[in-house]
Amino acid sequence: MSTPESSTAAAATFSPACASAAILPAHLAAARAIKVRDHHLNRKAIVYIRQSSPQQVAEHKESAARQYALADLAVALGWPRDRVEVVDQDQGRSGQSAVGRPGFQYILAELGLDHVGIVLGLDASRLARSDPDWVPLVRSCGLFRALLGDYDGLYDPTDFNDRLLLGLKGIMSEAESHFLRARMHEGRLNKARRGELFNHASIGYVREPGGGLALDPDEQVQQVVRLVFDQFDRQGT
């Protein structure tokens, strides 16, 4: 989790636009006039950052830039910079479950303490990929009069229409995850039917660039592997 000071530095690192104040899009400016109230601004804004795997963190820099830039969006919406907190503890963690995501758990705790005026995320899937995690978040925001927001709009869970839209966003996020898993599973089955599916080399071996297997270059590992086969030859089992 980042402090407001380190959050500012992180946003500046990831987003070139952070050198100047963010320009508030017209649809968000209209939503701010209708939905953002003093009791929201008197509490902090939380920006939630999450990418699903370490590989995404390393390679998908533009996604990270857009997420960190939400801190500038919070300022443009009216929150003082020192009340904008970036929560990025869950970088590299899947959104399939709240288990193992301390950043998400922290947000729920802060909502319960009535410390939060708005929670901003790139989209619903950043916060939760499963309805059992999404629904408590929306309910907590409604109970403690906190807003949810992304680049598409601002949502007030105390408003029926906004709550309905948030419910649809949560369902779509979970469905998207289901479709992705289904496509990946079908891809693995197709490779298995062709005899091309490879999960990992057996213990003591490594995969070569050409696709074959070779003994692990570690000499100690090689000795253990040879010992196992020697014992098998002697014992016959």
Known catalytic residues? 52
DSSP helix/strand/coil, 116? strand
Residue 110 near residue 116, CB atoms below 8 Å: yes
* Helix 102-112 and helix 131-143, axial crossing angle in degrees, nearest 10: 30
β pairing state of 84-87 and 44-48: parallel
In the numeric block, which tokens belong to residue 172? 């779509």
Q: Are 14 and 122 in contact (CB under 8 A)?
A: no
Q: Whole-angstrom Cα distance, residue 233 to residue 114?
A: 69
- Among 111, 6, 80, smallest CA distance to 49 is for 6
